[in-house]
Amino acid sequence: MKPVIWLALIGALASTPVHAQLYRWVDEHGKVHFSDKPVDEENAETVDIKGPPRIGQDDTVQQINDRVRRLHDTENEQREIESKAAAEARERKEEIAKRCKRARIELQKYNGPVYKRELDGSRTYLTDEEHARDKKQIKEWIEQNCKES
């Protein structure tokens, strides 16, 4: 555990800005020199060194973080919308499959005589025209709605 504390302390100290003095002077040949110690006090001038910008301390980083957060929120919302749409499409497909199955069963019933049960319990058989018309309607509905299944 102690190495972790030491590493944290070293990291904190390393991140603090270091102020060093830099001197600039021109020699007798007109050449510019830089040094950390002044060679000639009269001709040397101190150069102000600005450290690198501190990352994570200004508004632009916060703005970037806000943009990234909004992007993630938008992506999550989009995924949720797509997930709901896929679930609804699955439900519609399942419902159509159920209706197609019922329609096919109903169509099979039309291979023989078909009757309607009256309120008093008696049977009324469909005429040939009614039978053909109803069978045709069921076939057309199946052709239009049951292509995939």
- Show pLDDT as tens, one digit a residue, over the chain (149 residues): 566 666 665 665 555 555 567 778 788 888 888 777 777 666 677 777 777 766 655 667 788 888 999 999 999 999 999 999 999 999 999 999 999 999 999 999 888 888 888 899 888 888 889 889 999 999 999 999 988 65
Give the pLDDT of residue 23.
78
3-state secondary structure the chain: CHHHHHHHHHHHHHCCCCCCCEEEEECCCCCEEEECCCCCCCCCEEECCCCCCCCCCCHHHHHHHHHHHHHHHHHHHHHHHHHHHHHHHHHHHHHHHHHHHHHHHHHHHCCCCCEEECCCCCEEECCHHHHHHHHHHHHHHHHHHCCCC
Give the domain range for residue 28. Answer: 20-51
Total domain count, the chain: 1
pTM of the predicted protein model: 0.46
pLDDT in tens, 69-109: 999 999 999 999 999 999 999 999 999 999 999 999 999 98
Could you tell me if residue 33 is inside a domain? yes
Whether residue 8 lies inside any domain: the answer is no
Residue 27 belongs to some domain of the structure: yes
Domain presence at residue 142: no
Task: Flag whether 129 is in a domain.
Answer: no
Is 135 a member of any domain? no
At residue 133, the pLDDT reads 92
Is 43 part of a structural domain of the chain?
Answer: yes
Residue 14 in domain: no
